[in-house]
Amino acid sequence: MKTLQLEALTAASFAPFGQVIEAGSLASHYPINGGSCTRYHDLARLDPGFGGELIASVFRAQPTPLPRSVALLERHPLASQAFIPLSGRPFLVLVGMPSPKPDPNSIRLFMAEASQGVNINRAVWHHSLLALDAISDFLVLDRKGPGANCDEAWLDEPLWLGALAGSR
């Protein structure tokens, strides 16, 4: 079973799959509120798709056990989906390029820090939310609207998520 290599989440590394939502220096940012606040502006391409509306939900996620295998991926063909951590803990983001079925060679595994959210572009294959260490809340921005917006696909070969190095 192939072990996925864990990558740091950066705007550049994640760009093929979506955007990183963080107070990052690469973003357009400027002082507001009389200088008491910095606005990191327009960070994500939130896309509710045709006929959809963008809604905000909270996912209270159980931590995933590690090490583990993963075999079932999903995609949202009609709209994007964003996850913003609310509990001050990192989480894992497993994504694969849009294609009729997941291409194992395009699958990447990222460590999102507690200060980073992600917006996953429409039709990007991904594993469902992978929280770490403890029950964690996430703000989720995605579509409400007509149509089937969740396709699932089993990988021909499961992939392995190794234990995370070091004390966390």
Binding mask 12-51 for ligand UGC (x = CB under 6 A): ----------------------------------------
Q: Of 116, 25, 108, 28, which Cα lies nearest the Cα of 73? A: 108
Binding partner of 129, given ligand UGC, Ni ion, none, CB within 5-8 angstroms per partner class:
ligand UGC
The contact set with Ni ion (CB under 5 A) reads 81
Q: Residue 142 CB, nearest distance to Ni ion (Å)?
A: 7
Q: Which of 4, 97, 129, 153 binds ligand UGC (CB under 6 A)?
A: 129
Q: Residue 96: what residue type?
A: G
Q: CA–CA separation, 156 vs 154, rounded Å?
A: 6
Dist CA 129 CA 140 (whole Å): 10
Counting contacts by CB under 6 A, is residue 128 touching ligand UGC?
yes
Radius of gyration from C-alpha coordinates of the chain: 16
SS3 for 2? strand
Q: How far is the CB of 155 from ligand UGC (least distance, A)?
A: 16
Q: Which residues partner with 117 through β-bridges?
A: 21
Minimum CB distance to Ni ion smaller for 4 or for 27: 4
- Whether the CA torsion 54, 144, 71, 60 is positive or negative: it is positive
64 sits near ligand UGC (criterion: CB under 6 A) = no
Q: Does 106 bind ligand UGC (CB under 6 A)?
A: no
- In the complex, the residues that contact ligand UGC under the rule CB under 6 A are 74, 81, 126, 128-129
